[in-house]
Structure 1
Amino acid sequence: MTPQQTIGFIGFGAMASRMGDNLKKAGYALIAYTPSGKGGDGSTPFLPTPAEVARKADIVLVCVPDDEALAAAMYGENGALAGMAANALLLNTSSISPTAADTLQKAGQEKGVCVLDCPVSGSTPEAEAGALVILAGGDEADIARAQPVLDCIGKTTIHAGPSGSGARLKLVINGIMGAGLAAVAEGIAYGLAAGLDRSMLFGALGEVAVISPHHKRKIRAASEGDFTPQFPTSLMQKDMRLLMDAGARLAVPMPTMAATTQQLSITRRAAAHEDYSALIGVMEHIVANDNT
C-alpha cells in the first residue's frame, strides 16, 4: 500500500465507520460524505459533495442504504462519478438491487471507471472486527486491485462472478437469513403459547445444532429484550423486498421468502430502527396477549 493513500467514503454510518476504523489502523487516510454532512468522531474530514470526495480520494468506497441513496450519491454534477478520473476504483459495498448494480457498472464503464459491486455479509460486530465476508462481482484483475482494501475490512473475499453477481449473492444470503429468523420467531411463539418455560426455551435454542450461530446471537439478545440495532429492521425488510422483486423478474417461486417479507413489514411498522430480530419480540407480544 502506498503510504497515506486516501479512501473516500460515500456514506459513513454504523457499518462504514467501523470499516473506516480498520482502514485507518492499516495506514489509510479517510475522507467522507454523508447527506447530513455529519458522522464519525470528528477525526474524519467530511466534504460537501460526493464529487469532491471522489476528486480527492485514491479509492472511493460506497456504503449507502438503498437504490435511491445510491442514485443520489453517484449521478449528476455533484455525484461521485462526476469527480472520478479514468481507471479510478469505486467499491460499492451497499446492499442494492441487481438492476441498480448493473446500472452503476454501465455508468462507470462509460466513464472509464472501474466499478466493483462488493456488498458485505455480516453486521456491526463483524465490521468492527474486520471480519466481514466480501461478496465481489467483477473481473479478477479488478478485484485483485481492490484486495488490499478488502482485506482490511473483511476476513474473506468471495468472487461471486461477473459484475452484478455480488449484489445477487447478497440477496440470496440475506433472504436465507431473514427466513431463518422468521422460523425461529414462529417456533418461539408456539413454544410460549404452549406453556413452555421462557428461560428454558430460549436457553435450549441456544444449544441445538439446527440454529445458526448468527441466529443464536439474536436469540440471546431477544431473551433479554435487547433489540439494539446491528442490522436494522428497515434494512432487512428492504433487502427482502429487493429479493422478491428480483425473483419475480425471473419467475422464481419463493413463497417462504414472501411470507417472511410480510412478517418483516409488520416488524418495520413496529420497530423500524431496532434490530430485525425484533420480529421475535413482535411474535412474543402476540402470544402474550392471547387470552384464548
Structure 2
Amino acid sequence: MTTQQTIGFIGFGAMASRMGDNLKKAGYALVAYTPSGKGGDGSTPFLPSPADVAKKADIVLVCVPDDEALAAAMYGENGALAGMHANQLLLNTSSVSPEATDALQKAGQDKEICVIDSPVSGSTPEAEAAALVILAGGDDALLARAKPVFDCIGKTTIHAGPSGSGARLKLVINGIMGAGLAAVAETIAYGLAAGLDRSMLFDALGEVAVISPHHKRKIRAAKEGDFTPQFPTRLMQKDMRLLLDAAARQAVPMPTMAATTQQLSLTRRAAANEDYSALIGVMEHIVANDA
C-alpha cells in the first residue's frame, strides 16, 4: 500500500523508531517529537512540541513509557491534543494505566478526537519485523480507520473490546510474561545450586514445551550473559506495578504478581536499563558462590 499520509510520532524510542521504519517502507511520511528534541537518523523531521507534530500529521501515534510521560505529551498548550482537530485519529501504543487510558479517551471525546488505545505485545525484534500484536480498544469503525497503520507495524490486531480494553489486556499479557520469567529465573537458580551443569541446564530449557518461545529467547541470551535491552527492566517493573494497582482496584488477589514485582524491583535497582531477563543473572549471582 502506498499513501501520502503523514504519521506524527510522539516518542520515537527503540520501539517507535522501528514502527516508523516499517511505516516509511509502506509509503507514509513521518514527523516526530521526543522530550530531548533528538532522535532518529536524520531522515525523520523532529518538531519542537507534540502540538506541532499533531498539526503536521494526519494520524498521531504516541509511544511513551508511562502515565507521567503520556500526560506531559498530551495535555497543556504544547500537548498533542492542543494541535489536533476534530475527527483526527490518535493511536496510543503506550503501556499505561487504565486510568490514564480512560482520561485520554475522555479528553479526546471532549474535542471530538478519535482515540484508540492500542498497546503492542512484542519487543524490539517484533517491532523491527513488523510482527507486533496490536491490542486495540475502540469501536469497529475506528479500528477500521486504523487498520492500514496497524497492518504496517504488526502481524495481527486483536480487538480487545471498547475503549480502554487494549490497555487492560496489555496488563494481563505482561503479568504473565513477568511471572513466567521469574519462575524461569528461580528454577535456574535452584538447578545451579543443586549442581546441574550450567550449559546443559540452559540448553535443556530451550528444548521443553513448558517454556514459551519468548522465554526461550531470554534463556538463550542469559546463557551468554547478554542482557541487551529488548524490554528494559524499568518498563517491565512499571507494568507489573500498574497491574498490581489495577487488580487491587478490582479486589483481585495477586500474590504471584506481587512477588514478581518485588523481584523486578530488585532487578531494576541493579539493572534498570538492561533487559528484564537480567533477573536470571541476579538469581544466578545469588547462588554463584555456593559450594
TM-score under structure 2 length normalisation: 0.99
Aligned to 2:81, what secondary structure does the other structure show? helix
Distance 1:285 1:42 in 2: 41
Q: 1:197 matched to which residue of 2? A: 197
Instruction: Report how far residue 290 of structure 1 moved.
Output: 3.7
Residue 110 (structure 2) pairs with residue 110 (structure 1): yes
Q: Which 5+ residue runs of structure 2 have no aligned equivalent?
A: none
1:231-270 Cα offsets, whole Å, 9 max, x none, are 0000000000000000000100000000000000000000
Q: 1:148 matched to which residue of 2? A: 148
Q: 1:262 matched to which residue of 2? A: 262
User: Does the 8 Å CA contact 2:189/2:287 hold for their aligned counterparts?
Assistant: yes
Q: 2:172 matched to which residue of 1? A: 172
Aligned to 2:95, what secondary structure does the other structure show? coil
User: Does the 8 Å CA contact 2:2/2:27 hold for their aligned counterparts?
Assistant: no
Q: 1:226 matched to which residue of 2? A: 226
Instruction: Report how far residue 2 of structure 1 moved.
Output: 6.9
Distance 1:157 1:74 in 2: 24
1:129-176 Cα offsets, whole Å, 9 max, x none, are 000000000011000000000000000000000000000000000000
Instruction: Report how far residue 3 of structure 1 moved.
Output: 3.1
Percent identity between the aligned chains? 89
Distance 1:2 1:175 in 2: 37
Note the aligned Cα RMSD (angstroms): 0.8
1:172-194 Cα offsets, whole Å, 9 max, x none, are 00000000000000000000000
Aligned to 1:41, what secondary structure does the other structure show? coil
Q: 1:36 matched to which residue of 2? A: 36
Distance 1:29 1:267 in 2: 39
Q: 1:127 matched to which residue of 2? A: 127
Distance 2:217 2:75 in 1: 39
1:9 alignment partner AA:
F
Equivalenced residue count is 291
1:275 alignment partner AA:
D
Q: 2:12 matched to which residue of 1? A: 12
Distance 2:51 2:24 in 1: 22
Instruction: Report how far residue 289 of structure 1 moved.
Output: 2.8
Moved over 2 A (4+): none
User: Does the 8 Å CA contact 2:2/2:26 hold for their aligned counterparts?
Assistant: no
Residues 74-89 of structure 1 correspond to what in structure 2 (within 5 A)?
Answer: 74-89=74-89
1:221 alignment partner AA:
A
Distance 1:113 1:19 in 2: 23
2:17 alignment partner AA:
S
Q: 1:100 matched to which residue of 2? A: 100
